[in-house]
Amino acid sequence: GVFDDGYVPVIAGLSRANPKDIEVAWNAVKGAKLPRVHTFIATSPIHMEAKLKKTPDEVVEIAVNAVKFAKSLGCDDIEFSPEDAGRSDPEFLYRVLSEVIEAGATTLNIPDTTGWNMPWEFGDLIKKLRDNVKGADKVVFSTHCQNDLGLATANSLSGAKNGARQIECTINGIGERAGNASLEEVVMALALRGATHFQGGPGTGKLYTSTNPVHIMPTSKMVSEYTGMACQ
C-alpha cells in the first residue's frame, strides 16, 4: 500500500539460494507495489566446508544461479547476502559479489552473522568491498549485524560511515542468540549525530533515515507485549 505521505515500503521475502525457496518467496511478495527477493549463501571457509560441504567455485555458481533465477521470475529488486561475510576471505567476497551484480543483484547485504567483528574491522570491510567489487557503484550496500559481543549497533554505524546505505535492524534488537542491531539505537544515533559525525565516507557525510522517532516507543512496547521479551 501507499501511506498518506506517499511513502511506499519495499516488501522483501528472504530465501535460501535454491529455486524452490526463491519461487515461494517471490510468490509471497510479488503482489506488493515494491517487491524484493533477498537470497543468501554462506561464503566463509568454515561454513562452506562444514555446513554446505561445497567448494568456493560451487558456492559462486549457486549464488549466480539464484540471482538469475529470481530475475527470470520477473523480480527486478534482488538483494544478495554472503552469509558469514565477517569471517570470509575478502578476495573471495570480491569475486562472488562482482558476479552476482553481473547476474542482476541490486543490493549487497554484508552480514556479521556470528557477531564477530569489531566496528573498525567491519567498517573497513565495507570500504574494501566498495573499492574492489566490480559494479559496486551500481548497487546499494547494506549491513546485517548480530549482537553477540554487544557491537551490532556500533558495527552498523561503522558500515554506514564507510558507505552502507541500508541497515538491517529489528525492533528492540530481537533476534537469534544475543539479537540483531536495534532499530531504535540506529535511528536515534543517526537522528542525533548523523549530520555531524559521518564525514569521510562517500557523499556529503550527512546521514539520515526517514523513520519518525515519535513512533519508536509505542512500537517497542507493542513488540515487547506480543513477544513477552522485555526491551533491554
Mean pLDDT of the chain, nearest integer: 95
Neighbours of 160 (CB within 10 A): 24
| pLDDT at residue 57 is higher than 80 | yes
Lowest mean pLDDT among 68-77, 88-97, 115-124, 201-210: 201-210
State pLDDT tens for residues 46-56. 999 999 999 99
CA distances from 46 to 57, 83, 86, 117, 183 (A): 15, 11, 12, 16, 30
- Bigger pLDDT: 6 or 196? 196
Give the global pTM: 0.95
- In the chain, what's the furthest Cα-to-Cα distance? 49
**Model pLDDT, residue 230:** 84
| pLDDT at residue 137 is higher than 80 | yes
pLDDT band for 205, please (50, 70, 90 cuts): confident
**Model pLDDT, residue 208:** 93
Percentage of the chain lying above the pLDDT 90 cut: 92
Measured CA to CA, the distance from residue 10 to residue 5 in angstroms comes to 15
**Model pLDDT, residue 26:** 98
**Model pLDDT, residue 93:** 98
Task: Tell which residue, 35, 31, 28, has the closest CA to residue 10.
Answer: 35
Percentage of the chain lying above the pLDDT 70 cut: 98
Region 146-157: mean pLDDT is: 98
User: Taking CA 143 as the corner, what is the angle to CA 192 and CA 198, rounded to the nearest 5 degrees?
Assistant: 35
State pLDDT tens for residues 159-189. 999 999 999 999 999 999 999 999 999 999 9
| pLDDT at residue 190 is higher than 90 | yes
DSSP type of residue 47: I
**Model pLDDT, residue 156:** 98
| pLDDT at residue 216 is higher than 80 | yes
